[in-house]
A = this chain, B = another copy of it.
Amino acid sequence: MNKLSSLHCEACRSGAPLVTQEELQEFMLQIPEWCLEIRNNILQLERSFAFSNFVDAMAFSQKIAELAEAESHHPAILTEWGKVTVTWWTHKINGLHRNDLICAAKTDLLVS
């Protein structure tokens, strides 16, 4: 099994394949803290991270933004006092691409 966090996002076009259920089951083992959510009929990956204040939460959001730019793939980041909630999905295919699993794994690495 490839280590997700060592992979990089590929350019994603409309019509690119959604992650299969088999892939999802296999790869979710590497990112056990992430939850699957369905919103507006779109499957998404989500995790919340706890911090002790707003500044630390925002600093983490900034790190995620830098990861997103590096991978040219962008999540939704909800920053609150002491909490950051990150949601990855792929707009172009209205669901989860392997890129989302890769970015979730890379997000986990940002936690110091």
A residues adjacent to B (C-beta < 8 A): 54-55, 58, 61-62, 65, 68-69, 74-81, 91
In whole angstroms, what is the CA distance A80 to B78 when docked? 9
Q: A54-B74, A58-B62, A58-B65 are in contact. List 15 more A-B contacts (CB 8 A).
A: A54-B65, A55-B69, A58-B61, A62-B62, A65-B79, A74-B80, A74-B81, A75-B80, A76-B78, A76-B79, A77-B78, A77-B79, A78-B78, A79-B79, A81-B91
In whole angstroms, what is the CA distance A65 to B54 when docked? 8
Shortest distance between the CB of A3 and any CB in chain B (Å): 26
In whole angstroms, what is the CA distance A94 to B78 when docked? 19
